[in-house]
Amino acid sequence: MIDLADVQADEPGRNAGNQRLELGPSILRGASALLWGLANGIVHAGHRAIIGPSVHHQDSLCIIARMSEPRVAAEECVAIGAAQQQLEPYPGRDVRVGDLRVLRALPVKGRRLIGPWCFLDRFGPLTFAGGTPMDVAPHPHMGLQTVTWLLDGEILHDDSLQQEALLRPGGLNVMTSGNAIAHAERTPADNTGRLNGVQLWTALPERDRHGEGSFQHLSDIPSIEFNGGIARVFSGTLGDMTSPAQHFSDLVGADLQVHRDGTLTLPLRPEREHAVLMLNGAAALRGEPLQPDTLYYLGTRRDELAISSTGGSRVLLIGGRPFDETILMWWNFVARTPEEIRQAREDWEAHRRFGDVPAYNGPRIPAPDLLRLATPNPVS
């Protein structure tokens, strides 16, 4: 199966050599403790001994040893693999959405999905004295959900279901395309002169991607307060908190606010893969500073996440069970086959199936030429 997102996200050299492992300091502590333990004959027989200070089990070094045959039994220790937790930085790239410059954090070369999350655009923060920095004319979607979340400013949504919603910080717009929908998104005339937010997409599973489109606006979403900060759960489930936003896969999407001089520690589900993107301020994962405009892939097998900040920070967390369907992304469509893409493009061009967006005063966005199948970026 070809995956055109490969080509779409391909920027030679941007991600070269960015694969590495996170090796916590407790590994070193654990290793010295092991040597010390062996030298002093206190490595226990026949059962697992956790060496080192009482660190979190996922970065502990586990040892199984027999008196006659001391050995490190990595293969028998669930936690040893987790000690080499993935932490892969993927720098985003600048793209234009109309006149608006955005950071496309997903898809990137080498990473197209985080659970069902298949797209992440970061726009702003920016201020403007006039005009409408976001003005995305009517365009179609298929096979996905758009999830829009603001830190500042406003976005006006209009779609082919005749739904209109003014999104403000703290609220959420979720549009489920099903098999076909069209929408427009723009800065409203009455605005604060600021824009700062993200738009994400999730790929719809096979069982849900052929259905009707729908739109949901939430003016408020649940949050969880921790010692070190606040988690605003806009999609799916985090801990025992579930967003009322409609979703179709096991996933999480949350805006993590880390307090000044705080460490926010969150429960994660180890069967999910996760990624984080710093939204403002400065934050660190286990002492490792996060770079701006960079998506960090955290892999699976984590049951908690600790983010610290000295000056305060907001960090986007996305995750979900690894998506077990191979998707094909082209322009604003998520499909499975090139034929579906070709048909969707043809239907949009022929004014079939996707509907119009009458609330938007202006021409719609034409589909890119199919001959350039590999090149067009989504318009969001």
| Least spacing, CB of residue 110 vs Mn ion, in Å | 25
* Nearest residue (CB) to Mn ion, 53 versus 362: 362
- The DSSP secondary structure of 151-193, one letter per residue, reads EEE-EEEEETT--EEEE-TT-EEEEE-TT-EEEEEE--SS--S
* Nearest residue (CB) to Mn ion, 253 versus 299: 253
| Least spacing, CB of residue 185 vs Mn ion, in Å | 6
Residues 273-292 that bind Mn ion (CB under 5 A): none
Binding residue count for Mn ion, defined by CB under 5 A: 1
* Nearest residue (CB) to Mn ion, 26 versus 380: 380
Strand (E) or helix (H) holding 7: helix 4-8
Angstrom distance (rounded) from CA 314 to CA 329: 29
Write the CB contacts of 152 (distance below 8 Å, at least 6 apart in sequence): 124, 125, 169, 192, 194, 195, 196, 197
* Nearest residue (CB) to Mn ion, 144 versus 278: 144
* Nearest residue (CB) to Mn ion, 308 versus 380: 380
Could you give phi then psi for residue 227, rounded to 5 degrees? -60, -45
* Nearest residue (CB) to Mn ion, 297 versus 333: 333
| Least spacing, CB of residue 378 vs Mn ion, in Å | 7
| Least spacing, CB of residue 289 vs Mn ion, in Å | 33
Site string for Mn ion, 341-380 (x = CB under 5 A): ---------------------------------------x
Using CB atoms, what's the residue nearest to Mn ion?
Answer: 380
Angstrom distance (rounded) from CA 67 to CA 173: 61
- What DSSP state is assigned to residue 38? H
Which is it for strands 241-242 and 223-225: parallel, antiparallel or unpaired? unpaired
**Shortest CA distance to 380 belongs to which of 91, 115, 136?**
136
| Least spacing, CB of residue 113 vs Mn ion, in Å | 19
At 108, is the secondary structure helix, strand, or coil? strand
Plot region of 12 (φ>0 → left; ψ -120 to 50 → alpha; else → beta): beta
Total number of residues shown for the chain: 380
| Least spacing, CB of residue 301 vs Mn ion, in Å | 33
**Rg of the chain over all Cα atoms, to the nearest angstrom:** 23
| Least spacing, CB of residue 188 vs Mn ion, in Å | 17
* Nearest residue (CB) to Mn ion, 58 versus 380: 380
| Least spacing, CB of residue 160 vs Mn ion, in Å | 12
Tokens 């590994």 belong to residue:
27
* Nearest residue (CB) to Mn ion, 185 versus 273: 185
Residues of the shown chain interacting with Mn ion in the complex, contacts defined by CB under 5 A: 380
